[in-house]
Amino acid sequence: MTRARFAVLVLATSLLAACGGPAVPPAMNYATIRGRAYDSATNAPVAGVQVVVDTILTATTGSDGTYRIANVPIGQYSLVVQPPQGYGAPSQPAYNGSVSSGETVSIDIPLTKQ
């Protein structure tokens, strides 16, 4: 009886392995958006800026003012900027565009102190 159970287990495991797992789209089916937030008067980097793509993908700029958002689905996107305290809303609070497979788009964000 033990050998029969083992044989069934091996057969089931083999069938699952042959079918493969869930299909994960390759990285080339996505794009990347990156850029830099900076003070428009001094060109100094601005840390703590929240950058949101299509309300689900987010990044916050580091001390050097840069951000990077990977795995952006290809097609149309909307990028919204939320500046840190002390900075007003950017002159262009939302950036809209489209990305294609494997593309990297650069969007720099000028900010003005209040």
The domain limits of the chain are 27-111
Residue 15: the pLDDT is 54
Is pLDDT at 1 greater than 60 in this prediction?
no
Q: For residue 19, count other CB atoms closer than 10 A to its CB.
A: 7
How much is the average pLDDT of 47-60?
94
CATH fourth-level superfamily of 27-111 = Immunoglobulins (2.60.40.10)
Is it the case that residue 17 has pLDDT exceeding 60?
no
Q: Strand 104-106 and strand 50-53: pairing? A: unpaired
Q: What is the mean pLDDT of the chain?
A: 85
**pLDDT, tens only, 21-37:** 555 556 568 999 999 99
* Average pLDDT of the residues in 89-114: 89
Handedness of CA 93, 96, 101, 107 (dihedral sign): negative
* % of the chain at pLDDT higher than 90: 64
Q: Where are any strands of DSSP class E within the chain?
A: 30-39, 50-53, 57-60, 66-73, 75-82, 94-99, 104-106, 109-111
- In tens, the pLDDT along 41-50 reads 999 999 999 9
Contact 28, 101 (CB under 8 A): yes
Instruction: Report whether 66 contacts 109 (CB < 8 A).
Output: no
Over range 68-88, report the average pLDDT: 93
